[in-house]
A and B are shown apart, each in its own frame.
Chain A
Amino acid sequence: MTTPDVHEDGRVRRPVTERRLHPITPFRRAWAPVAVLIGWALHDPDQAQRQLTRLTTTTLLVALGVLLPAAALYGFLTWWFTHFAVTGSELRIRTGLLFRRTAHIRLERIQAIDVTQPLLARVAGVAKLRLDVIGTDKKDELAFLGADEARALRAELLARAAGFAPETAHEVGEAPSRQMLRVPPGVLAVSLLLTGATWGWLVVAAVALPLLWTATHSLWTVLAAAVPMLGAVGAGSVGRFVTEYDWTLGESPDGLRIDHGLLDRAHETVPPGRVQTVRLVEPLLWRRRGWVRVELDVAGSSNSLLLPVAPRELAESVVARVLPGVSVPPRETLVPPPRRARWCVPVWWRGYGLAVTDAVFATRHGLLRRSLSLVPHAKVQSVRLVQGPWQRARGVADVVVDTGANKSVTARLRDATEAAALLRSQAERSRTGRRDALPDRWMA
């Protein structure tokens, strides 16, 4: 299906090809009514039983005869009325049966593109394409596309976003990817076993559940307490293992490639210059092995993990790749707050530290679970100095740096005069830091 693409200047350009989603799409929500029924039955078993006995064959047949075609028709129509098209500078999505919605997504504003395959979609050979754009609450996604089509579309979108000519964008194909790092499952499993939160929940469960049993002697109370606790343990260990399994980090001209997942596979792409902040997190139990976890913030994106676990040197080389020209400041160069800061934050003040290099604003916090946040100067949106009454009495102040990913990085408890100087110089650096940043269309 083709429609002429009429532009403001009235000229009729190359026709834009509109495409539809994969025909399997209408079935994506087929499980929802079943889930509602099961949920209701579990919630109120007695009444569900009573209702079931009252159902006769005829009512059942009539209900099926009405509901099934209605659901099928709805599914078909929503699929039929959803189109998408790629033009020179935009991705257009038209959708909606009664309430029409047309989204035009500017390609150079794309912050990340993810291709995800939930387990059932993997079986069916389809995939979901999700686009992260700044300023939209609702994630625009194309679900579902054929797996190969999704990959081809991602390659095309990235090629156009990078600034390749529209005629050649089709043929550019997937940019070659070079594998940088792969997290072995064994290391991931050990790292998750060494996570304090999981053990904390287990200890809490081991203490609280017997106490609850002696106090109430009610199996239901104990179960009601045990299920969320064990759920937290499961999500922190098994759940994370399943999503972070086979974590592969690749580098391509299109940006960073992150592939991961045991059951649900996800392939994320972060184009160059989109990373706003990077955090190196070092839990207490990982320190002896020299492992760190690397997190990142991208504007308008929910992806926040860059590496679930990696040796420190390797992680630092990856950070240098992600933020060009940035090297992670070594621990000795981080300046701790003045000694009098201990009156503001008694023990933990020792965990704070700050280092400002030519390229990056780096702050550390945490004593047991150390976390080092890096913000390139070019990504700083505004700088603030905050000083409470107690801090003023001690002559210290906090310097807060705001980034476009709606995260702020705070250098806590700096000497007041140093903080004032830092405020001015940081504003200057963030202004000049932008000069040698990559353009939005990075291949143009």
Chain B
Amino acid sequence: METGSPQNTGPAETGATAQAAGPVAGAESEPARTESEPAGTESEPAGTEGEPVWIALPPGLLKMRRLLLVVWLGLLALAAGLVPGLLAGPGWAAFAALPLAVLVWGWVMLERNWRSWRYAERADDLLLSRGVLWRQETVVPYGRMQLVEVTSGPVERHFGLASVQLHTAAAATDATVPGLVPAEAERLRDRLTELGEARSAGL
């Protein structure tokens, strides 16, 4: 279990807003994600007792990261090809191959990394799993949340993405869900805040 790929997410209760994220890559081979009642209502996710119901990130984040990668490495490849090519001779333009190789490698890596990110809302805590080589799985009980933040930078906004960040009293708690559709980010924020209030505990 938990190989870090959305293929294993199983039937996920994503709710109306998460559906707006469109089809999740890799989920096509899977039996269609069950459209149960919208999340955020009284009914807890189906996986409360047994396996958690993992939700993968929408593909927008991958698209954004890949575009950024292509833009920056494309510029770098152009510079690495043109400058030595014009100054020292056309043979030296082969330097451009280096950024291009990094680009191909990064293209693949970004997808692996994006696939590894996923989160699950359980009855009493939020699960977050990420990382391919360095895997990390975080559990944050709702009662310990001090602050839930939705952030969205200019590039993220252009791609219609937002991140949800959870803060507990421990600064080491690094729980961020990046690249969500704004509506889903807001739904998650509201739900977490609501659950946090209901289960609030001090330090």
Contacts and interface: CB of A to CB of B under 8 A. Distances in A.
Interface of A: 134, 276, 299, 379, 381-389, 392, 400, 402-406, 408, 420, 423-424, 426-428, 430-431, 434, 437, 440
Interface string B192-203: 000000010111
Interface residues of B, number: 25
A408 B169 contact: no
B118 interface: no
Nearest to B139: A427
Interface stretch (B26-34, B71-79, B94-102, B129-137): B129-137
Contact of B134 (A379, A388, A430, A434): A388
Interface of B: 2, 124-125, 133-141, 143-144, 168-173, 175, 199, 201-203
Contacts of A383: 138-139
Given A299-B203, A403-B170, A382 B134 contact: no
Given A134-B203, A382-B175, A408-B172, A387 B134 contact: yes
A431 B134 contact: no
B125 to A, nearest CB: 5
Nearest to A404: B169
A379 B138 CA distance: 16
Contacts of A384: 136-139
Given A382-B139, A383-B139, A389 B134 contact: yes
A381 B135 contact: no
A299 B133 CA distance: 33
A403 B171 CA distance: 9
Contacts of B138: 382-385
B136 A404 contact: no
A440 B201 CA distance: 10
Contact of B202 (A387, A420, A440): A440
A381 B136 contact: no
B161 to A, nearest CB: 24
Nearest to A387: B135
Contact of A299 (B141, B169, B173, B199): B169
A14 to B, nearest CB: 28
Given A408-B172, A431-B124, 7 more contacts: A299-B169, A381-B140, A381-B170, A381-B173, A420-B137, A427-B125, A440-B202
Contact of A134 (B133, B169, B172): B169
Most A-side CB within 10 Å, residue of B135, B136, B173, B203: B203
A276 B144 CA distance: 14
Contact of B170 (A385, A402, A424): A402
B106 to A, nearest CB: 18
B140 to A, nearest CB: 5
